[in-house]
Amino acid sequence: MASKAHISETPATQLLRAQKIAFTEHSYAYLEHGGAQHSAEVLGFDPFTVVKTLVMQDQAAKPLIVLMHGNRKVSTKNLARQIGAKSVEPCLPEVANRHSGYMVGGTSPFATRKTMPVFIEETILALPRILINGGRRGYLVGIDPQVCVQLLEAKPVQCGLPL
């Protein structure tokens, strides 16, 4: 095995291993508010293939997860319309942390504390591989995007807008 810094398991990587999902590990120096654009840049990936895990809520404060390209933002109006909600908005960081069990900036859609519906920007599913948070700041895992459908029952939506 190639020698590299050992990355301790997270609930997300434990779930992926338990489900026998193949993934690659990519760690980088986390930058506060750097987001997917920063991680893509330092790791040398196209930000379109780096997927953000966003914890949002509907008008009844029910949490949900949106998986979006690193270089796109969510049209909450389009998302709400497609999922039959009156409105959708991002959760406050402390609320998102509580729902997911992860810290904002290190939120993985896998093995969240609360089971939440997951919506994935449809064009992500057309990519051969994506990088998505592995459950810690500065840590991404490379997977087949279909894993999001298989493990999370992610539903495709069209709500991406240019940043």
Among 52, 120, 64, residue whose Cα is nearest residue 89: 64
pTM of the model: 0.95
Instruction: Show pLDDT as tens, one digit a residue, over the chain (163 residues).
Output: 333 445 689 999 999 999 999 999 999 999 998 999 999 999 999 999 999 999 999 999 999 999 999 999 999 999 999 999 999 999 999 999 999 999 999 999 999 999 999 999 999 999 999 999 999 999 999 999 999 999 999 999 999 999 8
- CA triple 149-150-154, angle to 5 deg: 25
Among 5, 94, 96, residue whose Cα is nearest residue 52: 96
CATH 3.30.70.2190 fits 23-162, yes or no: no
Q: Distance between CA 161 and CA 163 in Å, rounded? A: 6
Strand 139-143 to 63-69 pairing: unpaired
Among 127, 111, 114, residue whose Cα is nearest residue 160: 127
